Amino acid sequence: MSSDTAKSGMTISIWFFIGISLLVNGVIIFGAGVYELFQPPPADARVVLFQYHAGVWWGAVLAVLGAFYCWHFAPSRTKH
């Protein structure tokens, strides 16, 4: 159990909440990025450097990081 939760008998670490936040945001951004990959907006409505598809890789990074935090700090793992 991490010491930020130990003394108060809490079972959910702050890092688990952060994991949820990153995971959900990452999945949404990744999904929006993939949608734009296959259904690109008109050229005059695209962001600068659209060809790099930042939403896809940045969303994936956030989702993977969030998933790791959710797993590592899951209440079932941190509770003894």
Partner 1 sequence: MDGMNPASLILSTSTLVHLSPVDLVIIVFYFVLVLAIGLYLKGRANTGEDFFLAGREMTAWIAGLSFLSANLGSLELMGWAASSYQYGILAAHWYWIGAIPAMVFLGLVMMPFYYISKTHSVPGYLKLRFGEPSRTLSSISFAFMTVLMSGINMYSMALVMKVILGWDIHFSIWVSSITVAIYVALGGLRSAIFNEVLQFVLIWAGALLIPVMGLIEAGGMSGLRARVIQNAGEAYTHMWGTMGSADANPMGIHWTGIVFGLGAVISMGYWTTDFLVVQRVLSAHNLRAAKMAPIIGAAFKMCVPFIVILPGLLGWAVLPFKLTGEDVAAATGGHSYNEVLPLMLARYCGPGLLGLGVTALIAGFMSGMAGNVSAFATVWTYDIYGALIHKNGTDKQYVSMGRWCTIVGVIISIGTAYLVMHFHSIMDYVQALFSFFIAPLFGTVILGMLWKRATKAGGFWGLLSGTLSSVGMWAWVKVDPSALRYIAMSPHARDMAENMYRALWSWLVCVIVTVVVSYMTKPQPVEELRGLVYGATEIPHEEQVAWFHRPVFWAVVVLVIFVILQIIFW
21 vs 77, which CB is nearer to partner 1? 21
CB-based contact 56:29 (threshold 8 Å)? no
Angle at 71 between CA 69 and CA 73, to 5 degrees: 65
Residue 74 contacts partner 1 per CB under 8 A: no
Which residues between 12 and 71 bind partner 1 (CB under 8 A)? 12, 14, 17-18, 20-22, 24-25, 28-29, 31-33, 36, 41, 46-50, 52, 54-55, 58-59, 62
Radius of gyration of the chain (CA): 17
Closer CB to partner 1, 22 or 70, in the complex:
22
